[in-house]
């Protein structure tokens, strides 16, 4: 038995080796038929490799939040629940479609985008999360040190790109050019999720340069799924709840 375990490990069948060892230790192997044992070992190896790949994919994505679709709160009708759940199957990615999530600050836009991104990772897609301000700053640095094309190629390879907090500040010429190239590279070939507290109707002003703004918006807005979130900031509501609970506790004491 030790020889079999050693060979499994040498062949890097770590999930299979772990399942085989646990089966031996629990003495459940007597209940397995040969077919069942093979099926059990193969399933264990598949699960092991899937989990390792998912962990690597999640680390590479660099999400802002560790989020899942199951954790999304649909309280207070902040958004269309059915729409979000339909998008969670990630079929939009097979059609190379994009998503725009808008709403006031603190309402949960980034969390929903991250949850959809996590879902895409679990289905085997390559995903990259980028805060818009840091993205454009890094592209400027890349332009200066000669790594710009390499950065563009890295972004283009992602099945799903998340651009968070777009529109916090107006784009300058370099940022505008970088956004145009990123969107152009992805248009019709992969999907993008953009979150913004600025209404889409004001994006022309944020981007600037009418001709380039038209070109960018034509590629990312017109055919995108739009999630428009409504209501107050969840962060603000949580702070108020904490304050109220604290005041109530002090009143009781």
Neighbours of 104 (CB within 10 A): 14
Average pLDDT over residues 20-36: 73
Three-state SS for 13?
coil
Token couple for 98: 């994009």
Whether 73 shows a pLDDT value over 90: the answer reads no
Q: Name the band, by pLDDT with cuts 50, 70 and 90, for residue 48.
A: confident
Neighbours of 212 (CB within 10 A): 16
Which pLDDT score is estimated for 196?
96
Residues 200-227: tens digit of each pLDDT: 999 999 999 899 999 999 999 988 999 9
> What is the largest distance, in Å, between two alpha-carbon atoms of the chain?
73
Percentage of residues of the chain with pLDDT beyond 90: 58
Residues 96-119: tens digit of each pLDDT: 999 999 999 889 999 999 999 999
Which pLDDT score is estimated for 253?
53
Dist CA 122 CA 53 (whole Å): 9
Whether 39 shows a pLDDT value over 80: the answer reads yes
**Beta-strand (E) ranges in 30-122?**
99-102
Residues 167-210: tens digit of each pLDDT: 999 999 999 999 999 999 999 999 999 999 999 999 999 999 89
- Give CATH 3.40.50.300 domain extents, the chain: 69-236
Dist CA 41 CA 245 (whole Å): 52
Sheet containing 191-196, strands listed edge to edge, beginning at the edge strand earlier in sequence: 127-131, 160-164, 191-196, 99-102, 225-228
Token couple for 212: 């380039």
Instruction: List the one residue out of 145, 130, 142 whose CA is nearest residue 63.
Output: 130
Residues 156-165: tens digit of each pLDDT: 999 999 999 9
Q: Name the band, by pLDDT with cuts 50, 70 and 90, for residue 243.
A: very low
Residues 57-67: tens digit of each pLDDT: 888 899 988 89
Whether 166 shows a pLDDT value over 90: the answer reads yes
Q: Name the band, by pLDDT with cuts 50, 70 and 90, for residue 240.
A: very low
Which pLDDT score is estimated for 47?
84
CA separation (Å) from 118 to 46, 112, 115, 167?
A: 20, 10, 5, 24
**Beta-strand (E) ranges in 17-138?**
99-102, 127-131
Dist CA 53 CA 73 (whole Å): 28
Which pLDDT score is estimated for 246?
44
Dist CA 18 CA 44 (whole Å): 8
CATH fold for domain 69-236? Rossmann fold (3.40.50)
Higher pLDDT, 39 or 32: 39
- The pTM for the full model equals 0.79
Percentage of residues of the chain with pLDDT beyond 70: 90
């Amino acid at each position: 038995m030790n020889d079999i375990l050693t060979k499994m490990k040498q062949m890097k069948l770590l999930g299979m080796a772990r399942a085989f060892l646990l089966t031996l230790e629990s003495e459940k192997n007597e209940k397995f038929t040969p077919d069942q044992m093979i099926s059990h070992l193969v399933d264990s190896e598949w699960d092991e490799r899937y989990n390792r790949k998912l962990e690597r994919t999640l680390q590479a994505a660099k999400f802002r939040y560790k989020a899942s679709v199951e954790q999304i709160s649909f309280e207070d009708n902040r958004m269309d629940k059915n729409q979000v759940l339909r998008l969670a199957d990630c079929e939009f990615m097979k059609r190379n479609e994009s998503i725009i999530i808008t709403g006031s600050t603190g309402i949960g836009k980034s969390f929903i985008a991250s949850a959809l991104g996590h879902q895409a990772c679990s289905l085997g897609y390559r995903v990259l999360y980028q805060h818009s301000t840091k993205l454009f700053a890094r592209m400027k640095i890349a332009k200066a040190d000669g790594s710009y094309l390499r950065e563009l190629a890295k972004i283009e390879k992602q099945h799903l790109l998340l651009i968070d907090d777009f529109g916090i500040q107006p784009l300058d010429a370099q940022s505008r050019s970088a956004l145009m190239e990123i969107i152009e590279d992805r248009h019709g070939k992969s999907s993008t999720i953009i979150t913004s507290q600025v209404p889409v109707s004001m994006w022309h002003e944020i981007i600037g340069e009418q001709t380039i703004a038209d070109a960018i918006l034509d590629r990312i807005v017109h055919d995108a799924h739009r999630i428009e979130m409504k209501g107050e900031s969840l962060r603000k509501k949580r702070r108020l709840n904490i304050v109220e609970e604290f005041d109530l506790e002090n009143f009781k004491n």
